Amino acid sequence: MKQTNSSIAQTYFEICCTLPLETEELWSWFCFEKGALGVETMTESPTELTLRIFFEHEPAGGAQKLVDDFCCETATEAKINITEEANRPVENWQANWREHFRPVKVGQSLIILPAWETGFELDGRHPVWIDPGQGFGTGHHLSTALALEMLEQYLLNTDTLPESMLDIGIGSGILAIAACRLGIQKVRGVDLESEAVAEVERNSELNGLTGRIKAVVGQPSALIKPAPLVISNMLLRELQDVRFELLRLTSPGGTLICSGLLGEQADELSSSITQLGFEYCSTLERENWRAVQFKRLEKKS
């Protein structure tokens, strides 16, 4: 999923808030829509939780304006209490990740590990080491986990393993690395942020995959050659904006996997994607987050 980064930024903006448990998904989605870099759960009880939300810059009007806009735009009366808001030194980012980023098993065969984790028992799983920096993609967010699971299911069950994959909004490179672990020979990706592309290079080297994964800065139009497998973990608005590029970049008969969708957004995306010449295949869902798989129809002779 594309995240907003700045290689020259000295600070980032952090909001801490408490809210009802049932409001978490909608509030997290809203914050990502408004430019959040990431959302971290700090504490959780049966009825409420405390979140820490990261932004590159302070949202216009501050944290309370963000809450007011949320209640207005989503027509909800949920109580969100801002407990703290402040600019933090960028150096704190890595410290936060090191404190909270723990190994996570995904699907049947993958395990996501922080770069500094050593001596962890793999239990026969394929390791994906990630040094996330300020990029999004550690496997902990459900949109990333669902993208990984759907990718794994497809690659473990396909009769013919695709030789290559395209990753639209490559982020930390986690999906590309997992694809290579599962047998894809090469992955090409694109991201709007230069720092994300730099992180892809670092994580590829960390996993011994230098040369098999390459990313460029820019829009999907920067990718020229279609592939038999395309994956994109982005928000609905972003997926809709690049849907014609997704069509162009998916080879006839190829597979498209989209994640980052909440609730009925999956139906909205499916409607627009199938109108372009894709066939709906399947959906994975967890806690109202969804990933959807499509097949591009063969060209008629």
- The DSSP output letter for 183 is T
Task: Report yes or no: 116 and 222 within 8 Å, Cβ to Cβ.
Answer: no
Strands 48-55 and 36-44: antiparallel
Cα separation, 123 vs 91, in Å, equals 34
Residue 26 identity: L
Work out the pLDDT band at 140, boundaries 50, 70, 90: low
Residue 81: is its pLDDT beyond 60?
Answer: yes
In sequence order, which residues have a C-beta less than 8 Å from that of residue 77 and are 6 or more positions away? 71
Share of the chain above pLDDT 70, in %: 88
pLDDT at site 92? 61
State how far the alpha carbon of 68 is from the alpha carbons of 39, 71, 150, in Å.
19, 5, 36
What per-residue confidence (pLDDT) applies to 272?
97
Cβ(217)–Cβ(188) below 8 Å: no
Average pLDDT over residues 98-113: 79
H helix or E strand, kind and range, residue 180: helix 174-181
pLDDT value at position 137? 58
* Per-residue pLDDT at 218 exceeds 70: yes
Report pLDDT digits (tens) over 247-268: 999 999 999 999 988 888 999 9
Q: Can you give the pTM of this predicted structure? A: 0.76
Q: What is the mean pLDDT of the chain?
A: 86
Task: Write the CA distances from 183 to 126, 149, 172, 206, integer angstroms.
Answer: 11, 15, 19, 18
Task: Find the mean pLDDT for residues 48-57.
Answer: 88
Q: pLDDT grade, residue 91 (50/70/90)?
A: low
**Residue 82: both structure tokens together:** 């801002």
pLDDT recorded at residue 254: 97
Domains of the chain: 11-97 (3.30.70.120), 135-296 (3.40.50.150)
| Amino acid 1: pLDDT | 35
- Report the length, in residues, of the chain: 301
Pairwise CA distance, residues 294 & 281, whole Å:
5
| pLDDT for residue 6 is more than 50 | no
Q: Does residue 7 carry a pLDDT above 50?
A: no
Distance between CA atoms of residues 15 and 143, nearest Å: 21
